[in-house]
Structure 1
Amino acid sequence: MSLKAVLRGCGAFLPEKVLTNEDLSKKVDTSDEWIRERTGIRERHIASDGELTSDLAANAARVALKDADLAPEDIDLIIVATTTPDLTFPSTAAIVQAKLGAGAGAAFDIQAVCTGFVYALSTAEKFLISGQHKRALVIGAETFSRILDWEDRATCVLFGDGAGAFILEAQEATDAGERGMMASYLRCDGNLVDLLYVDGGVSSSQTVGHVRMQGNKVFREAVTRISQAMVSVCEEANVPVTDIDWFVPHQANERIIQGVVKKLDLRPDQVVSTISGQGNTSAASIPLAYCAGVADGRIKTGDLVLFEAMGGGLTWGAALMRV
């Protein structure tokens, strides 16, 4: 029996608190114009005191469960992609499992920074098509505001908090038809760690640390590596890049997104972008953008959707799915 991982539902959650560029200009030497020109970001959502990554993740998961018409006990695999876990251990996925009342299925976290959701999607698919699990809850969730240096204008203006969730289900290929995950492509170059990292950790400093980034170098790497991943994943699926219906990118920087669109000859109206109102929510950005595209009616059942991301590591990757 041949199985496919099919998307059953999606969910999004953003914290209520909003931090605008004007708000930031009162904290650091920046301006709304400076931020928008360089990034495309206008505002971002920030978790309140006491609002944890697992809270955001569980809220997004509940929306996804409702969208899929499923109950928590129908889920037997939970994967949370996050760089900002509640605790060193246990995993945020374990905490989410308990908050949902999902039962004793498998639950674990994936840490690939902004590429985390693509890594998590690919991992979940492998579990599902093996027949080991039936339904996977795949979540990207971040409280990135907790690891920002609010005096560093190069980084603090970029990031926001949020969570997005997909529910994937193993279905027989004959039943799924064309729908389902078609291919994924994952890469990492550890020689480029110093381009984007956090200067603290359990083993090194016993502190949380702050985000540090060589922005110009990351930008130069991004368009080339992201484009290559997108072409590679489409080649694996034997689908021309120009045949996709929607491009749902990691929401890192509007100029990076535009650079990829130009390089691959895509149309601007194929892009689902949420960066203006959400900023870079790291592992949460892809599912948040996808949910926005579904909510406003652009993305429909049967559409061919291409996801991509690049993050610290440097990690990068892409996934192709008929939704």
Structure 2
Amino acid sequence: MHKAVIAATGLYTPEQSISNDKLVEAYNSWVDQWNAANAAAIKAGEVEPKAHSSSAFIEKASGIKSRYVMDKEGILDPSRMAPRLPARGNDEISVLAEMAVRAAEDAIKRWGKPVSEIGAVICAASNMQRAYPAMAIEVQQALGIDGFAFDMNVACSSATFGIKTAADFVASGSAKAVLMVNPEICSAHLNFKDRDSHFIFGDVATAVIVESEATAAPGGWAILGTNLKTQFSNNIRNNFGFLNRTHLPTDTAEPIPSDGLTDKLFVQQGRKVFKEVVPMVSEMIVDEAAKLNIDPTSLKRLWLHQANINMNHLIGKRVLGREPTAEENVIILDDYANTSSAGSIIAFHLHNDGFAAGEKGIICSFGAGYSAGTVFVEKRG
């Protein structure tokens, strides 16, 4: 058995971003148009008028202040309220793969080794651009990597499930090193006409290289233990898929989502998610720490899934047994918003400094499924 280490990470951040103020301006403009178009029905009491959103509401509910996106023009167009991502030819690299490659190139540069040392590629994300060929195989080809590649989807927990899978490949000797990428165009499956969720997601891509301890250079992070958990719940759901094609607009220029498509995009019951996921994840972290003989209150840093600032604060408090500091419980969703599987990796990538050899932290994700994954790491000398 070969112990695995996180040897390097990478990040690709889109150039375009949208502030809460700009997003609210577009949403409220659409609301005014909708209310005007349905004035008679509203007056007759047949439908409820749409309510405005506000930057204050968004920040209080989530902690989000802005988000990066692949296309802000389509999102901020009140007549569309969805990104415009033109289709590419089959002989061109796909958008999702291109994002993943950019993040992977960053990780490979930091790693400092040739791609010939990588034996597998995993594309772990909440929504794939297509069913097949696998996005991971396209990334593999673009980077010139031999071996094998495949896609996996465990929603917001995809990255930790991917790290666990990569570590198992390394442990078994199936590969000396594994590249795991998390490209997320979350804006493409978000309903920007839903006041309760129009602000949640952003776009980004991350990458992680997991390598055998036997070949790893000094530094990096020893993977002390991993744990995965799933429990079925409808409280976070996305029904978009090929079986729904009869419900989709025939004209690709038609604004998406239309009122009849809300069930085919991201929906969640936020209060139920909060109530059920926080204790599940907190207990999972504490229980796994006990199995690894780690005092959870001694963890130097928590790199949690970036979904909601209130969830993260409460989980951090339960794990550490006290109110965590901003340095201990990393928050990046104020700038990036919820980026699904990539969130905990962005936090880890941007804020893993200041560790001495032997100090420990945890990468943890949680989300739809429900699903949750923990990766306890220790700074190597």
TM-score, normalising length from structure 2? 0.78
Residues 175, 251 of structure 1: alpha-carbon distance in 2 compared, 3 angstrom cutoff:
closer
CA–CA distance in structure 2, aligned partners of residues 319 and 15 of structure 1: 27
Would you say 1:316 and 2:372 are equivalent positions? Answer: yes
Q: Paired residue for 1:263?
A: 318
Q: Which runs of 5+ in 1 are unaligned?
A: none
1:288 maps to a residue whose letter is I
Does the CA contact (< 8 Å) of 2:345 and 2:363 recur in 1? no
Residues 37, 178 of structure 1: alpha-carbon distance in 2 compared, 3 angstrom cutoff:
closer
Q: Paired residue for 1:277?
A: 335
Q: What SS does the corresponding residue of 1:270 show, helix, strand or coil? A: coil
RMSD of Structure 2 on Structure 1 (CA)? 2.2
Does the CA contact (< 8 Å) of 2:6 and 2:220 recur in 1? no
Q: Paired residue for 2:48?
A: none
CA–CA distance in structure 2, aligned partners of residues 292 and 270 of structure 1: 13
Of residues 91, 95, 99 in structure 2, which corresponds to 1:52?
Answer: 95
Does the CA contact (< 8 Å) of 2:117 and 2:177 recur in 1? yes
Would you say 1:24 and 2:23 are equivalent positions? Answer: yes
Q: Quote how far apart the aligned CAs of 1:174 are.
A: 12
Residues 43, 179 of structure 1: alpha-carbon distance in 2 compared, 3 angstrom cutoff:
closer
CA–CA distance in structure 1, aligned partners of residues 355 and 70 of structure 2: 28
Equivalences, count: 317
Q: What SS does the corresponding residue of 1:166 show, helix, strand or coil? A: strand
Q: Quote how far apart the aligned CAs of 1:179 are.
A: 5.0
CA–CA distance in structure 1, aligned partners of residues 5 and 359 of structure 2: 13
Residues 178, 147 of structure 1: alpha-carbon distance in 2 compared, 3 angstrom cutoff:
closer
Q: Show the 5 A alignment for 1:159-238.
A: 159-172=201-214, 179-190=221-232, 192=233, 194-205=234-245, 209-238=264-293
1:52 maps to a residue whose letter is V
Q: What SS does the corresponding residue of 1:56 show, helix, strand or coil? A: helix
CA–CA distance in structure 1, aligned partners of residues 226 and 377 of structure 2: 9
Q: Which runs of 5+ in 2 are unaligned?
A: 28-51, 72-84, 87-93, 249-260
CA–CA distance in structure 1, aligned partners of residues 291 and 133 of structure 2: 36
Residues 121, 216 of structure 1: alpha-carbon distance in 2 compared, 3 angstrom cutoff:
same
TM-score, normalising length from structure 1? 0.92
CA–CA distance in structure 1, aligned partners of residues 100 and 215 of structure 2: 30
Q: What SS does the corresponding residue of 2:351 show, helix, strand or coil? A: helix
Does the CA contact (< 8 Å) of 1:21 and 1:157 recur in 2? yes
Q: What SS does the corresponding residue of 2:338 show, helix, strand or coil? A: coil
Does the CA contact (< 8 Å) of 2:363 and 2:375 recur in 1? yes
Does the CA contact (< 8 Å) of 1:179 and 1:302 recur in 2? no
2:195 maps to a residue whose letter is R
2:61 maps to a residue whose letter is R
1:143 maps to a residue whose letter is I
Q: Quote how far apart the aligned CAs of 1:106 are.
A: 1.4
